[in-house]
C-alpha cells in the first residue's frame, strides 16, 4: 500500500517534470534551441496566475485561460525580441542566452512579487480523496489529469492541424520548410508561445504542491534531466522521462538516506548518458560525414 | 599598421611578436608588481580575487574557448581544489606541496569524469557536467569527516618559505605569480601539438578525427587540464574566503565562471584577464550603484544575478566576441583607418542541420 502511495506521488511529481520537459523538447525540436529558462517561465506563469487569482480575484477557469494567454504572448514576444536574432548562432550561445534570461526573469519576479513564498488560491488545494486507504490529494489528481489532457491536445494538434504539421516540417528542415512556403519565423514564434503556455500550465498545477517563489524555477534543472532521460527531441519521451525521475525520487527517498533523493535525478541522468546517451526514445541521428 | 618582417624561425617561437608588445606587457608587469606600494589593502584583496578568477578562467578557456566543450559545472572543480588543498594543509602538508597535490587531484578527477563524458557532444556534455556539479556538491555536504559538512571547515594559515601568505601583500604576489605561470603555460600549451589538437577539435570534430587526432583522448586531456587549472584557482580561493562551506560553490558560481570567459572573449588569452577583471569588479560596482540608485530599485532581491544575466544577454546579442573581440575591432579600425570593412568580423551563421554538424 505504501508503495502504491509513493507511486501516485511520484507520478504526479513526474508529470510536473514532464510538463516542463515538454516545453524544452518542443522548442528544441522546432528551433534547435535549448531554452534553459523554461523553469523560470513556469515560475512566471505561476506568479501571473497568483496575481490574477489572489489579487484580482477572478474565477479560476478565467485565471487559467488568461494566464495561458498572457504567457503565450510573453513567449512570443521573447522570441520576436530576443531569440530571433540568435537563429543560426551556435547552440552554445543560445544556451548561455537563456541561462542569462533565467537570471533576469528571476530578478524581475523578485522585484515585482517579492521573495517570500506565496500560495495560490486554487480549487485543487487541500482536498483529498480516499480510496481503500490510499490518500490522494486533489492537487495530485489535477496535475495528472491536466498533464494527460495537455498531452492529448498537443498530440492532436501536431497530428491533425495544418499548423502542427507545418511545425513538424520546420523542425525537420528549416530551409526546406521555408521553400515550401511555411512561414518559418512565425512558426518559431508560435512554438515559443505554446511552450510558454505549457510552462504556465505546469506552474498553475504545481502551485498548490510547492509554494510560489522566484526560485521555484530551479526545478527546471531536474526537468532537463527528465528530457534527456526520455530522449531529447521526443515528446512522449519527455513525459516518460519525467515519470521515471519523479517515481525514482520517491523510492530513493524511502529506501536511501536523506538527501540522496535530491541528487537522484542527476545520478539517473549521468547513468543514462553513459549507458544510452540518446535516451529512451532515440530521435537524434548519428553524425554522418 | 605594423608589419613584422620575419628573418628567422626563432621569431615564430618568441612570446612577443615585436618590440611594442614587449614594451607594453613589460609596463603592465611593472605596474602590477609595484601596485602594492600605492594601493590600499582592500584593493589588493580585490585584485588578488581577480587573479584567482583569471586562473580559473584559464582552465575554462582551455575547455570552452579552445576545445569547444561547454561546462556548466566548473564550480565543482573550484570546490574540489579548495577542499583538497584545505584537507592537505590540515594534515600538515606544506603550502608549496599542497597546491600541486590539490591541482593534481583535480586533474585526476577531471580525467575520470571526462572519460564517460567524452561520449557526449554539445548540450549533452554541458548537462552532464551540471549533473556532476550537483552530485559533487552533495558529496561535499555529506562527507563530514573531510569537508565539515554543512558547518564547513576553516582554512588554516599557510606559510611559503617562512612568510605568512595570508597577509594581503603576500597573497597578492602569490596569486599574481600563479596567474602569470598559468597564462604562460597555457600560451605554450596552445602552440604544442596537444593545443593545436584542441583547436582542431573545436573547429570540426569530424575533420580533426580524419587528420588522425584521437578525439576521445584529446577531449579527456582538455577536460583534465581545465579541471587542474580550476582546481589550482580553487586552492587559492580557499585562502581568499578563509572558511569553506558548501554554499560558496553553487550552480551560480559555475555560470559566473562561464560568464567570465564569454564576456572576456572566447578563444583569447587576453579575454580571460578582461573577463576576470569584469567578474571581480562588477559586485563592487553593483554595491556602489546600490547607494546611488533609488531605494525601490536598490532593494530588489537577486539584483546582482539579474544584472549578471542582463550583461550576459547583451554581450551574446551585440558582441559575441567579448571584450577582447571589441578591442580587436577597434584596433583594426585604427589600423586600416579609412578602409575598415564592417564585414571583416561578421558572424558566421549556419542555417542547415548539416552545417551544424562539426
Count of Cβ atoms closer than 10 Å to residue A285 Cβ: 9
Q: For A82, name the nearest residue in chain B, comparing CA atoms only.
A: B317
- pLDDT tens for B98-150 read 899 999 999 999 998 888 777 777 778 888 888 889 889 888 888 877 787 77
Q: How many helices (H) and strands (E) does chain A have?
A: 11, 2
Q: Is A269 on the interface with B (CB under 8 A)?
A: yes
Of A117-126, A235-244, B66-75, B266-275, the range with the lowest mean pLDDT is: A117-126
Domain hosting residue A107, numbered range: 11-216
| Mean pLDDT, residues A228-244 taken together | 84
Q: What is the ipTM of this complex?
A: 0.85
Residues of B in contact with A287 (CB under 8 A): 206, 357
| Window from A273-277, B180-184, B242-246 with minimum mean pLDDT | A273-277
HSE toward the beta carbon, residue B120, CA cutoff 13 A: 29
Q: Is the pLDDT of residue A286 over 60?
A: no
Q: What is the mean pLDDT of residues A74-79?
A: 93
Chain B positions touching A34 (Cβ under 8 A) are 123
**A178 contacts chain B (CB < 8 A):** no
- The pLDDT value recorded for residue A284 is 53
Which residue, chain included where needed, has cell 605554450?
B188
Closest-approach residue (CA) in chain A for B299: A111
Minimum Cα–Cα distance from A213: chain B residue: B301
Number of domains comprising chain A:
1
Residues 106-165 of B with CB under 8 A from A: 116-117, 119-120, 122-124, 126-128, 130-132, 134-135, 138, 141-142
Work out the minimum CA distance from B89 to partner chain A, whole angstroms.
Answer: 29
Asked if A216 is an interface residue toward chain B (Cβ–Cβ < 8 A), one would say no
Average pLDDT, integer, range B177-196: 93
Do the beta carbons of residue B263 and residue B278 sit within 8 Å? yes
- Put simply, the answer to whether A270 touches B128 (Cβ < 8 Å) is yes
Higher pLDDT, residue A147 or B17: A147
Torsion of CA B177, B180, B184, B185, to 10 degrees: 50
C-alpha cell of residue B260: 567570465
Residue A277 lies in a domain: no
Query: Do B132 and B76 meet the contact criterion of CB atoms below 8 Å apart?
Result: yes
A289 lies in a domain? Answer: no
User: Does B116 sit within 8 Å of A270, measured CB to CB?
Assistant: yes
Look at A110 and B300 and tell me if their CB atoms are within 8 Å.
yes
Establish if A37 belongs to a structural domain: yes
What pLDDT does A268 receive? 86
Confidence of residue A289 (pLDDT cuts 50, 70, 90): very low
B147-175 pLDDT, tens digit each: 877 788 888 777 776 666 667 888 888 89
Which residues of chain B have a CB within 8 Å of the CB of A262?
138
The string of pLDDT tens digits covering residues B192-209 is 999 999 999 988 888 898
A vs B: CB pairs below 8 A: 147
Residues 35-54 of B with CB under 8 A from A: none
Q: What is the mean pLDDT of residues B70-86?
A: 91
**By the 8 A CB rule, do B317 and A82 touch?**
yes
Write out chain B residues lying below 8 Å of A261, CB-based. none
Q: Say if CB A241 and CB A230 are below 8 A apart.
A: yes
Which chain A residue's Cα is nearest to B319?
A93
Confidence of residue B357 (pLDDT cuts 50, 70, 90): low
B124 and A232 within 8 Å at the Cβ level: the answer is yes
Q: Which residue in chain B has the smallest CA separation from A115?
A: B301
In chain A, the percentage of residues whose pLDDT exceeds 70 is 96
**Cα–Cα dist A137/B110, whole Å:** 45
Q: Do A104 and B119 touch (CB under 8 A)?
A: no
Interface check A104 vs B, CB under 8 A: yes
User: Among A215-219, A259-263, B161-165, which stretch is predicted with the lowest mean pLDDT?
Assistant: B161-165
Which residue in A93, A221, A267 is closest to B130 by CB distance? A221
pLDDT at B52: 94
**Which chain A residue's Cα is nearest to B346?**
A89
Q: What integer is the mean pLDDT of B335-341?
A: 82
Percentage, residues of chain A above pLDDT 90 = 15
Q: Does B305 touch chain A (CB under 8 A)?
A: yes
> Looking at CA atoms only, how far is residue A289 from chain B in angstroms?
7
Residues β-bridged to residue B159: B164
- The pLDDT assigned to B161 comes to 67
Looking at residues B172-187, what average pLDDT do you find?
Answer: 92
A59 touches chain B (CB under 8 A): no
Q: Is B306 on the interface with A (CB under 8 A)?
A: yes
Share of chain B above pLDDT 90, in %: 31
Q: Which of B135, B262, B320 sits opposite A267 (nearest CB)?
A: B135
CA distance B346 to A109: 36
Distance between start and end Cα atoms, chain A: 54
Q: How far is A124 from chain B (nearest CA, A)?
A: 30
Domain boundaries, chain B: 1-38, 39-348
Give chain B positions within 8 Å (CB) of A107.
300, 302-303, 305-307, 309
Supply A263's cell numbers: 541528487
Contact B308, B249 (CB under 8 A): no
Per the CB < 8 Å rule, is A91 touching B313?
no
Report the interhelical angle of A2-31 vs A219-230 (nearest 10°): 80
Give the separation between CA A135 and CA A126, rounded to whole angstroms. Answer: 12
- Residue B184 confidence (pLDDT): 93
- Reported as type and span, the H/E element at residue A131 is strand A128-131
The answer to whether A93 contacts B316, with C-beta atoms less than 8 Å apart, is yes
- Smallest Cβ distance to B116: which of A99, A115, A274? A274
Q: Is A25 on the interface with B (CB under 8 A)?
A: no
Is B307 in CB contact (< 8 Å) with chain A? yes
- Please report the residues numbered 193 through 212 in chain B whose beta carbons come closer than 8 angstroms to any beta carbon of chain A: 206, 210
CATH code for residues B39-348: 1.10.3470
Of A85, A90, A173, the CB nearest to B353: A173
Amino acid at each position: 500500500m505504501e508503495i502504491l502511495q509513493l507511486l501516485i506521488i511520484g507520478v504526479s511529481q513526474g508529470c510536473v517534470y514532464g510538463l516542463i520537459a515538454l516545453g524544452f523538447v518542443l522548442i528544441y525540436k522546432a528551433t534547435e534551441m535549448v531554452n534553459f529558462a523554461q523553469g523560470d517561465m513556469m515560475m512566471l506563469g505561476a506568479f501571473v496566475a497568483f496575481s490574477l487569482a489572489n489579487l484580482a480575484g477572478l474565477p479560476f477557469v478565467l485565471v487559467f485561460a488568461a494566464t495561458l494567454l498572457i504567457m503565450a504572448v510573453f513567449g512570443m514576444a521573447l522570441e520576436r525580441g530576443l531569440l530571433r536574432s540568435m537563429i543560426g548562432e551556435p547552440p552554445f550561445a543560445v544556451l548561455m542566452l537563456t541561462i542569462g534570461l533565467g537570471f533576469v526573469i528571476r530578478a524581475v519576479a523578485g522585484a515585482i512579487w517579492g521573495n517570500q513564498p506565496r500560495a495560490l488560491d486554487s480549487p485543487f488545494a487541500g482536498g483529498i480523496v480516499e480510496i481503500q486507504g490510499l490518500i490522494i490529494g486533489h492537487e495530485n489528481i489535477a496535475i495528472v489529469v491536466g498533464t494527460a489532457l495537455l498531452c492529448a491536445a498537443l498530440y492532436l494538434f501536431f497530428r491533425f492541424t495544418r499548423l502542427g504539421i507545418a511545425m513538424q516540417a520546420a523542425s525537420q528542415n528549416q530551409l526546406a520548410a521555408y521553400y515550401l512556403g511555411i512561414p518559418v519565423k512565425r512558426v518559431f514564434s508560435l512554438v515559443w508561445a505554446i511552450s510558454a503556455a505549457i510552462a504556465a500550465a505546469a506552474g498553475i498545477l504545481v502551485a498548490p504542491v510547492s509554494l510560489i517563489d522566484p526560485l521555484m524555477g530551479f526545478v527546471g534543472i531536474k526537468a532537463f534531466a527528465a528530457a534527456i532521460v526520455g530522449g531529447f527531441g521526443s515528446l512522449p519521451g519527455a513525459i516518460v522521462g519525467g515519470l521515471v525521475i519523479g517515481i525514482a525520487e520517491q523510492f530513493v527517498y524511502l529506501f536511501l538516506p536523506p538527501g540522496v533523493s535530491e541528487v537522484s535525478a542527476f545520478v539517473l541522468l549521468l547513468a543514462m548518458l553513459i549507458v544510452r546517451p540518446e535516451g529512451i526514445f532515440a530521435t537524434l541521428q548519428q553524425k554522418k560525414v | 599598421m605594423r608589419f613584422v618582417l620575419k628573418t628567422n624561425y626563432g621569431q615564430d617561437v618568441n612570446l612577443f611578436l615585436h618590440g611594442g608588445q614587449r614594451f607594453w606587457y613589460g609596463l603592465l608587469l611593472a605596474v602590477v608588481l609595484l601596485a602594492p606600494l600605492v594601493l590600499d589593502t582592500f584593493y589588493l584583496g580585490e585584485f588578488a580575487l581577480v587573479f584567482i578568477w583569471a586562473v580559473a578562467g584559464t582552465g575554462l578557456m582551455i575547455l570552452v574557448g579552445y576545445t569547444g566543450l561547454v561546462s556548466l559545472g566548473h564550480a565543482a572543480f573550484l570546490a574540489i581544489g579548495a577542499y583538497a588543498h584545505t584537507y592537505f594543509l590540515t594534515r600538515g602538508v606544506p603550502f608549496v606541496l599542497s597546491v600541486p597535490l590539490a591541482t593534481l587531484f583535480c586533474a585526476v578527477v577531471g580525467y575520470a569524469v571526462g572519460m564517460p563524458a567524452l561520449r557526449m557532444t554539445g548540450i549533452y556534455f554541458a548537462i552532464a557536467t551540471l549533473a556532476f556539479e550537483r552530485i559533487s556538491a552533495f558529496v561535499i555536504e555529506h562527507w563530514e569527516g573531510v569537508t565539515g559538512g554543512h558547518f564547513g571547515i576553516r582554512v588554516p594559515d599557510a606559510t611559503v618559505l617562512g612568510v605568512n601568505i595570508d597577509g594581503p601583500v603576500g597573497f597578492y604576489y602569490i596569486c599574481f605569480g600563479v596567474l602569470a605561470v598559468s597564462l604562460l603555460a597555457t600560451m605554450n600549451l596552445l602552440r604544442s601539438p596537444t593545443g593545436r589538437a584542441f583547436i582542431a577539435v573545436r573547429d570540426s570534430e569530424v575533420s580533426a578525427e580524419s587528420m588522425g587526432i584521437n578525439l576521445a583522448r584529446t577531449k579527456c586531456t582538455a577536460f583534465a587540464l581545465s579541471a587542474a587549472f580550476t582546481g589550482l584557482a580553487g586552492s587559492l580561493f580557499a585562502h581568499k574566503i578563509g572558511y569553506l562551506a558548501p554554499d560558496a560553490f553553487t550552480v551560480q558560481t559555475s555560470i559566473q565562471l562561464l560568464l567570465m570567459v564569454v564576456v572576456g572573449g572566447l578563444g583569447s588569452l587576453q579575454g580571460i584577464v578582461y573577463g576576470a577583471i569584469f567578474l571581480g569588479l562588477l559586485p563592487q560596482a553593483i554595491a556602489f550603484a546600490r547607494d546611488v540608485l533609488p531605494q525601490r530599485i536598490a532593494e530588489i532581491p537577486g539584483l546582482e544575478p539579474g544584472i549578471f544575466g542582463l550583461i550576459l544577454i547583451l554581450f551574446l546579442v551585440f558582441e559575441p566576441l567579448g571584450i577582447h573581440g571589441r578591442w580587436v575591432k577597434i584596433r583594426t579600425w585604427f589600423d586600416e583607418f579609412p578602409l575598415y570593412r564592417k564585414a571583416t568580423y561578421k558572424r558566421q551563421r549556419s542555417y542547415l542541420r548539416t552545417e551544424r554538424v562539426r
